[in-house]
Structure 1
Amino acid sequence: MLAKKSAMKLGKSIAVIATAALSLSACVGSFASGKDDKQYLDSSASRTEIANSAPSAFPIVASECPEIRVRQGAEAYAIYAKGQSGNAKALRYQAVIDKQSRNCLVSNGLITVKMGVVGRLLAGPKGGSDTVNVPLRFAVERDSLAVFSQKYDIPITITPPSQGEEFVKVVENVAIPYVGGEEIIIWVGFDPKG
């Protein structure tokens, strides 16, 4: 009885495998045979063919969104009491960037970027109840050439007894020419001089 059940299971397994093999051979055969199907064998679209098809294509999320980096030396911004720059005891406020993020959409030869940061403004020993404008700059480089640069003054208020306040800045719809293969870098950082 046990041998009969095993033989039946084996027979069913062979039938399932045979059906799957026939289905796969039908799929492979339909792509590799026929006059019109030869275009799929060992060929790739040219840049011109891709460009010509782009206007009718739907926007897609970029599979490789440009990296967003904090510019070296611009990761923190300190405000001191007048005439006491660099004196830790005279520090009024310090802003820092905690997180940065970006999102991309590719369509019609453009990559459209949405970028943002989350940061904090912290009160120092000389801090008080005040509103501070934090100078934050976003920039985009394409093959080492600046294609976007904008400074934003973000007003932040710290009200005691709180010693810090979070801020968020998002910039949307920054369009950059994009064919593929370019080196694109998004920069962010504090820019008190610009």
Structure 2
Amino acid sequence: MRKIDVRQARARAPWLLLAVASLTLAGCGGGSMFGAGSTIGNATSAGGDRFGQLFGSNSQQPGEAPPPAQEGDLTCPSVSIRPGASTYAVAAPGKQAVANDLRYQATITRTARDCNLNAGQITVRIGIQGRVIVGPSGAPDVVDVPLRVAVVQEGVSPKTIATKVFQTRVQIGGETSVPFSLVGEDLVYPAPSAAVGDSYVFYIGFDPQALKPEPRAKGRR
């Protein structure tokens, strides 16, 4: 009888579940979906325990309703995953991130937020947990995961109030599925008036464009 390679079987299992999703996400390497004028922010890698210590039970899974606000607490916008930016799929060079050409894929599994009002400014900490799954084409030992947070005032014409990129480095090693967790800090925006405060939302998602170097300024001849 032919012996089964356990390592190969383990490597195939995770990406089979993601192959269909990758077909619709192959174009995720396009332009930013969060608006211009962004900056690179501070991100602290955080294990599950630190994530829990920082935010307690004030966290949610994608699509889950945010925890109820306590009486007297500062209103902190809910967190939503930006449509089209919920998954980060990376392909082999010159290929599309589908089927056997998928190197790895990252997803968001849980989020949390914490707001602090001081002198008319709101300072936010955003917690993000996720997972990187290795595809059949194989991932490098270390991968950089770019995540963007945007404060958006929803309405007929949505307005981006503030936006910032946070990056985290994930050690893959020989694993096929690796969790990651980070806390993005120092996102600051002006406190909204009571009339529009309920229309504010924190949008988060992957932003591959954030990993590309800034274009060099053209010098004079």
Place the TM-score, normalised by the shorter chain, in its bin: 0.5 to 0.7
Q: Which runs of 5+ in 2 are unaligned?
A: 1-71, 211-221
CA contact (8 A) 1:61 1:105 kept: no
Of 78, 85, 91, which residue of structure 1 is paired with 2:96? 85
The whole-number CA distance in structure 2 between the counterparts of 1:86 and 1:156 is: 19
The whole-number CA distance in structure 2 between the counterparts of 1:131 and 1:177 is: 37
Shift of 1:66: 0.3
Shift of 1:106: 3.0
Greater relative contact order (Cα < 8 A, sep 6+): 2
The whole-number CA distance in structure 2 between the counterparts of 1:128 and 1:145 is: 37
Q: What amino acid sits opposite 2:91 in the alignment?
A: Y
Shift of 1:129: 4.6
Alignment match, 2:144: 133
User: TM-score normalized by structure 1?
Assistant: 0.62
Alignment match, 1:50: none
The whole-number CA distance in structure 2 between the counterparts of 1:113 and 1:181 is: 20
| CA deviations over 1:128-180 (Å, ceiling 9, x no partner) | 452111121111123532222122232112111x2121111212232322232
Relative to 1, partners in 2 of residues 1:106 and 1:121: Cα closer, same or farther, differing over 3 Å? same
Q: What amino acid sits opposite 1:176 in the alignment?
A: Y
Q: State yes or no: 1:156 paired with 2:167.
A: no
DSSP 3-state at the match of 2:152: strand
Q: Which runs of 5+ in 1 are unaligned?
A: 1-59
Q: State yes or no: 1:175 paired with 2:188.
A: yes
Instruction: Return structure 1 stretches of 4+ with deviation > 6 angstroms.
Output: none
Of 126, 144, 153, which residue of structure 2 is paired with 1:142? 153
Q: State yes or no: 1:186 paired with 2:186.
A: no
Shift of 1:107: 3.9
| CA deviations over 1:66-122 (Å, ceiling 9, x no partner) | 011110010001111112204311111000000111112234433332212101111
Alignment match, 1:124: 135
DSSP 3-state at the match of 2:100: helix
Q: How many residues align?
A: 133
- Bigger helix share: 1
CA contact (8 A) 2:86 2:206 kept: yes
Alignment match, 1:21: none
DSSP 3-state at the match of 1:193: helix
Alignment match, 1:38: none
The whole-number CA distance in structure 1 between the counterparts of 2:78 and 2:145 is: 23
The whole-number CA distance in structure 2 between the counterparts of 1:135 and 1:164 is: 18
Alignment match, 2:214: none
Q: What amino acid sits opposite 2:132 in the alignment?
A: L
User: TM-score normalized by structure 2?
Assistant: 0.55
Rg comparison, structure with higher value? 1
Q: What amino acid sits opposite 2:190 in the alignment?
A: P
The whole-number CA distance in structure 1 between the counterparts of 2:113 and 2:164 is: 16
Shift of 1:187: 0.8
CA contact (8 A) 1:61 1:106 kept: no
Identity %: 34
